[in-house]
Amino acid sequence: MRYLVYGTGAVGGLLGGRLALAGLPVTFLARPAVAEALRRGGLRLFGGALPGHVAAPSVVEDLAQALRPPTHPDVILLAVKAYDCEEAAVRLAAAGGELPTVVCLINGIGNEETLARRIGAGSVLSAALTTAVRAPAPGLVQVERERGLDFQAGHGRTAALAADLARAGFRIRLHADPGRMKWSKLLTNLVANATSAILGWSPDSVFAHPGLYRLEVEALREAVRVMAALGFSPQALVGVPVPVLAWSLRLPAAVSRPFLRRAVASGRGQKRPSLSYDIGRGRSEVGWLNGAVVRQAQALGLPAPANAVLTETLTSLVNVEISPEALRGQPARLLEQAARAGVPGIQGYNPPA
């Protein structure tokens, strides 16, 4: 099949790069600065199972051009940020004609629904990348931990897509229920993400702090309760035992904290969390992560104070309503807000001055 990568960052660069290295026709839709870097130096993949260099990638800056022959794709790999999903959906709908299948690789909850409203549910295929990857510069993709790709079974493109991605070196797992898959992926995206971004701490440092650990556990418990109310149980993803993560939340802190701290250190460790890049930029994916838990909890009549505090605090930092320095390295201040919001078990970790 012929592919269009819509969003040539870390995720899009990895998938498109490996497909191209496997000999499949791939075109990259990129912003001007990224497009220029790709034309000048190609796309380089470092680390992981299959490093390589796509020396002369096919690059376009205009969606309409990408959808015309000879580059017209069978599949679009959509790898933009969640806050850009609506714009992408509008652009795809405006393109007219018969659209290719759009594989939604965006983290968070609600993106598939956004696409479905604009282009129809039948054109959308849900997916989740568990491989840890980053783009240190345009045209460079660094794999930090190899895992694989999870995506929706039963779609008309599933079999061909699975074959191509396996050919490109990805471990693949298919899921009958894409909603359950996406909520399971959400649990992994929540871990030490918003808290790390707010405080400017590494995930490992967050889990080393008893009070912050409690806040993290409560945020995850809220998400698991929402999943249960929706009829979803946590599901294993490629390389990520999500049910074990959910099970550990039931254990006493003395048992669960060392276990989860080791898991976080091996999975993220000192890596900067994704939400930390949103500080001061006026937009953030937190609304599709912690914020999605809050919205769904409200709709179900469930409490979600931990996720509400993290969403509201990070949003204020993103919008520069409060200075990043006000909370940087100040866990007691964040825990004070959590205690006031009624997050269980927080009060004891924030003794009065």
Domain ranges (residues) in the chain? 3-176, 183-349
Residue listed under structure tokens 């001061």 = 280
Residue type, 336: E
Angle at 293 between CA 287 and CA 296, to 5 degrees: 105
312: helix, strand or coil = helix
- Fold topology of 3-176: Rossmann fold (3.40.50)
Residue type, 66: A
Of the candidates 9, 274, 278, the residue with the CA atom closest to the CA atom of residue 138: 9
How far is Cα 179 from Cα 324, in angstroms, rounded to an integer?
Answer: 34
252: helix, strand or coil = coil
The answer on pLDDT for 310 being more than 90 is yes
Report the pLDDT value the prediction gives residue 142, as an integer from 0 to 100. Answer: 96
Q: Over the stretch 283-308, which tens digit does the pLDDT of each residue have?
A: 999 999 999 999 999 999 999 999 99
> For the CA atoms of the chain, what is the radius of gyration?
20
Of the candidates 1, 49, 185, the residue with the CA atom closest to the CA atom of residue 107: 185
**All residues at 6 or more sequence positions from 122 whose CB lies less than 8 Å from its CB, including other chains:** none
Span 125-136, average pLDDT: 96
Residue listed under structure tokens 């205009």 = 62
Report the pLDDT value the prediction gives residue 140, as an integer from 0 to 100. Answer: 98
Q: Is 351 exposed, middle or buried (0-12, 13-18, 19+ CB in 10 A)?
A: exposed
Span 140-152, average pLDDT: 96
The answer on pLDDT for 351 being more than 70 is no
Confidence category of residue 280, pLDDT binned at 50, 70, 90: confident
How far is Cα 217 from Cα 90, in angstroms, rounded to an integer?
Answer: 37
Taking the C-alpha atoms of 43, 172, 82 and 309 in order, what is their torsion angle to the nearest 10 degrees? -120
Average pLDDT, the chain: 94
- Fold topology of 183-349: N-(1-d-carboxylethyl)-l-norvaline Dehydrogenase; domain 2 (1.10.1040)
Q: Over the stretch 232-266, which tens digit does the pLDDT of each residue have?
A: 999 999 999 999 999 999 998 888 888 888 777 76
Model confidence pTM above 0.85? yes
